[in-house]
Structure 1
Amino acid sequence: FQQVQFDKFVAQGNVLNNYANILELLLRLRQCCDHPFLVISKADTKKYTDLDELAERFLKGAQNDSGCRAIVPPRAFVEDVVEEIRQGTAAECPICLESTSDDPVITPCAHRMCRECLLSCWSTPAGGACPICRSPITKADLIMLPVQCRYEVDAKNNWKDSCKVVRLLATLEDLGKKGEKSIVFSQFTSFFDLLEIPLNQKGIKFLRFDGKVTQKHREKVLNEFSQSKDKLVLLMSLKAGGVGLNLTAASNVFLMDPWWNPAVEEQAIMRIHRIGQKRAVHVRRFIVKDTVEERMQQVQARKQRMIAGALTDEEVRSSRIEELKMLFK
């Protein structure tokens, strides 16, 4: 289906004009590589039955707790954003350049991004500036958007393994026998929701450190992971936390899905392989052969070769279209 939709955009010459739709298609292909249940889901949109009211809130420039008003965006921009929310269209996070579908928020100035990305770029947990327009924002100002969180199947009672889950569990069981701790990174917190099912079935003890863990409990989770004598597994969002996190209690890293920006993956690895680490660190990347994940790696290699050259706007547009064609071939 995704291939047919993309080919239609190519035939019409509207590839870049439908970039948000294409981003959504790619997201579903990538999630399917982790587990099919991630794409057999429904969005919970009941919270936003009156999107016109949401639009008016943006246009009034809501005042935050500090008494500052957000910059009022143009009406045409607000209408486009609200219509995308209505249709369930994914947006690209301006910070990590990934889809916001898994953990989206919208600011009072009508900019969509990943909640974890926004919180991590603020100097204080309470608030900061919008990375797009620099409007002052507090954490309380953020509007939570619906996510793909309700599965059409009862995942717990109808559990099916995916190839990644099978390989991950087998490796974790072997490492547990050796007394080693592990960290499992993914960009999809909904994948962690699914992983909890087989981990509990196998009796593998785990902790979570992602957007669902409050700021108050994050230090508690990290301390337990570091100090516990149990062979714990930490399920951790790649977007969670800051560069100062000390995760040297682990000696194994699992990267369950590739990112567009390999620097994010490297940062995650360096949280474990840093000063104070006395163990050898083993990093395992999970890439499903002959899928969009393998083609993502080819696109990244191509980007690296192009970095040294200066491109015109037209060359950039042409390059982006060619990269999208590579991903859908």
Structure 2
Amino acid sequence: MWLNYWTVWKFALYDYPGGINLFRNHLRVVMKEGSILPPADMQVIYCEQTEAEKDFYGALFKRSKVKFDQFVEQGRVLHNYASILELLLRLRQCCDHPFLVMSRGDTQDFADLNKLAKRFLRGTYNASDGEVKEAPSRAYVQEVVEELRKREQGECPICLEAFEDAVLTPCAHRLCRECLLASLRNATSGLCPVCSTFLMNVGHGTYCLIYRKAVNRQDLITAPTENRFQVDIEKNWVESCKVTALLNELQNLRSSGSKSIVFSQWTAFLDLLQIPFARNNISFVRLDGTLNLQQREKVIKQFSEDSTTKVLLMSLKAGGVGINLTAASNAFVMDPWWNPAVEEQAVMRIHRIGQTKKVAIKRFIVKETVEERMEAVQARKQRMISGALTDQEVRSARIEELKMLFT
């Protein structure tokens, strides 16, 4: 027994950033309940990218580093913190699978077509700068939404071909993304190539002549589609190094009959994992933030009681909310979280009172990527926790951590 505790304690101190908190939680539960939990074996699996993955990641990292270096030179790193996090987000997603970098984030935001229609029908006039953002007519919006609802393909008004990665402008015109961007006067904004000239009453008896509506790149909405990726992932499916490593782990567990939970912070990655799972006859259920209480209970019940269901795909945040999943004895954390406590909370759904089997917790890290550097940053933060830092020292430390991630 003491050997098991020493193994966990050694891991907490030396191997796993934030692991000491997990060890404390473990001891707290043991002392509170007066019983001893089975040991938890924690392991980091380091994955090596294929040459194709390295090329893709390398190009993405180089482009991201150029932008970050510009912020450093301007002395505006913290002023552009959100933009830097977006750069890091794409690099981290690329470590899971390059397809994630090509995911359509805003498609899901407007999957509700009623919400999309309301978005189009909001018209505003900004008197301070004279900008007019007029809403398209209700009849036209209804026509566009109905086409989307019926999944009508249609054609791009620029290339006159079937839509390729269609986007919607704020004025509800649908075009190919590349066709529209090529028509803009600059990289960020331009004029809608469809709208015609008209007069608009902007109030107080004043009419403003609007030739075409201005289109900002960030205002474009990806046309809702059943596929949230820019490529046909079924037809073009290729395993990433992490997916291959996970499949190998699950294959090794087949004979044991034990159940596993696969955690990821990105639901798009859970979408991707469903493809190789189906092809390899891995029975699974899924739990994420889109499920209501009744649906969550149904999924948990099936996973816990159905002997044929071996894997639960779960979003990391959903896994940390008051759920007991002791039916599983294996946890696979596919991507590191900024705050290790989030990972620990999710893993504690398995390693808690009621667990009778030895628990295996495995984290996947891609070598020579931002994920490895995130581990170093997490370890650095743990060392700094005990020290009292001034606000200036905190800001300086944050900048240094960001520089570490882009080296």
Aligned-residue offset at 1:18: 0.6
Q: Which of 267, 274, 280 is 1:202 aligned to?
A: 280
Partner of 1:30 in structure 2? 92
**Which residue in the other structure is 1:131 paired with?**
none
Corresponding residue for residue 327 of structure 1: 405
How big is the shift at 1:322? 0.5
- For 2:96 and 2:366, locate their aligned partners in 1 and report how far apart those are by CA, in whole Å: 9
Of 313, 319, 322 in structure 2, the residue corresponding to residue 235 of structure 1 is: 313
CA distance in 2, matches of 1:249, 1:202: 22
Inter-CA distance 11–252: structure 2 relative to 1 (3 Å threshold): same
Aligned match of 2:71: 9
| Cα distance in 2, alignment partners of residues 168 and 162 from structure 1 | 10
Amino acid at match of 2:84: I
- TM-superposed CA distance for 1:241, in Å, is 5.2
2:18 paired with 1:18: no
Distance 1:201 1:52 in 2: 48
Spell out, residue by residue over 1:117-172, the C-alpha distance to the aligned partner (whole angstroms, 9 max, x if none).
xxxxxxxxxxxxxxxxxxxxxxxxxxxx9899731110011101100000101111
Aligned match of 1:163: 241
Alpha-carbon contact 2:320-2:345 (below 8 Å) kept: no
Tell me the equivalent position of 2:167. Answer: none
Percent of aligned pairs with the same residue? Answer: 62
Within 2, Cα distance between the matches of 1:296 and 1:188? 17
Q: 2:328 aligns with which of 250, 265, 286?
A: 250
The alpha-carbon distance between structure 1 residues 20 and 170, as it changes in their structure 2 partners (threshold 3 A), is same
Structure 2 residue 101 is the aligned partner of structure 1 residue 39:
yes
1:66-86 Cα shifts (integer Å, max 9, x gaps): xxxxxxxxxxxxxxxxxxxx9
Residue 175 of structure 2 is aligned to residue 175 of structure 1: no
Give 5+ residue unaligned stretches, structure 2.
1-62, 111-115, 127-169, 171-220
1:263-302 superposed matches below 5 A: 263-302=341-380
Q: How many pairs are equivalent?
A: 240
Q: Which has the larger radius of gyration?
A: 2
Cα distance in 2 for residues equivalent to 1:152 and 1:247? 35
Helix, strand or coil for the counterpart of 2:228?
strand
Q: For the structure 1 residues 318 and 242, does the alpha-carbon distance in structure 2 shift closer, same or farther, using more than 3 Å as the test?
A: closer
C-alpha distance in 2 between matches for 1:150 and 1:188: 13
| Native 8 Å contact 1:185 1:254 kept in 2 | yes
Q: Contact (CA 8 Å) 1:180, 1:231: kept in 2 or not?
A: no
2-structure distance, mates of 1:162, 1:242? 26
Q: What secondary structure does 2:313 align onto?
A: strand
Distance 1:3 1:244 in 2: 39
Distance 1:2 1:250 in 2: 39
Distance verdict in 2 for CA 1:242–1:26, change over 3 Å: closer
CA distance, structure 2, for counterparts of residue 19 and residue 52 of structure 1: 31
Q: Is the CA contact 2:103–2:268 (under 8 Å) kept in the aligned structure 1?
A: no
User: Given the two structures, how large is their TM-score scaled by the length of structure 1?
Assistant: 0.69
Tell me which of 284, 299, 306 is aligned to 2:384: 306
**Separation in 2 of the partners of 1:284 and 1:51?**
48
**Residues 216-263 of structure 1: CA deviation (Å, up to 9, x unaligned):** 211011011111111510001111155531111111100000011111
